[in-house]
Every structure is written in C-alpha cells, then in structure tokens.
Amino acid sequence: MRGFVPIVIGGIGLVALAGAQLALAHEAHKAECNETTMNATKADIQAMDDGEAKTAALQEMQMAEEMMAKNDMEGCTGHLHKAMEAIEE
C-alpha cells in the first residue's frame, strides 16, 4: 500500500502534464481559415527572424491561401496549422 500511493500520485501528475501539453497544442488547432486568422498569422510570420522556420511558415501560408481561394477549407486549415507550428518553433 505504501508503495502504491507514490505510483498513483506520479500517474496523476503525468496525466496532468500531458493534458497541459495538449491544451497548449490545441490552442493553435482551434484556428479556422478566415480573413482575421490569416491576417494574424501573416503578421506573426512577418515578425519572425529569417531562417528555416520562417521559410516553412511562408510556404505553408501560401498554400493555405491557395486552398482558401479554391474554397478547400479543410486543406486551408491543415496548412494554416502547419504555418502556426512553424511559427512556434
């Protein structure tokens, strides 16, 4: 019993930590493809330092805009999320 309690507490802690990580990750995944979100993401990309992450973000953003122009919202959202992930790197 004595050894069981720390294991349970440790398990609860791990679940809480995983939940926090998912909550942070999912903030980006709530983003929808609309003009406001696209503009906000473009502003975020503008503020990035030049480098691989910015190049990747720009490419994903361009693809997101192309998908949006074709009314493929699912495709747009996918690329938008990738752009956001690149921004967070």
Partner 1 sequence: MSLIRRNWLVAALLSLLAVFIAASLVIYSGLYNVAADVPHSQPVFWLLETVRERSIAVRAKDVVVPSDLDNQKRIATGAGQYAEMCAGCHLAPGMKRTEISRGLYPRAPELRRRSHSAPAEDFWVVKHGIKATGMPAWGVTHDDETLWDVVAFLRKLPELTAEEYQSLVESVPKTHGEDGHAH
Residues that bind partner 1 (CB under 8 A): 24, 27, 36, 39-40, 42-44, 46-47, 49
Question: Which of 19, 33, 50 has the alpha carbon at shortest distance from 84?
Answer: 33
Question: DSSP label at 51?
Answer: S
Q: Which residue, 44 or 72, has its beta carbon nearer to partner 1?
A: 44
Which CB atom, from 11 or from 51, has the smaller least distance to partner 1? 51
The token duo for 23 is 């909550």
The distance of closest approach from Cβ of residue 61 to partner 1 in the complex, given in angstroms and rounded to an integer, is 11
Rounded Cα distance between 45 and 72, Å, is: 22
CB 61 within 8 A of CB 79: yes
- Looking at the Cβ atoms of 3 and 36, the one nearer to partner 1 is 36
Query: Shortest Cβ distance from residue 86 to partner 1 (Å)?
Result: 14
As measured in angstroms, the least distance from the Cβ of 47 to partner 1 is: 4
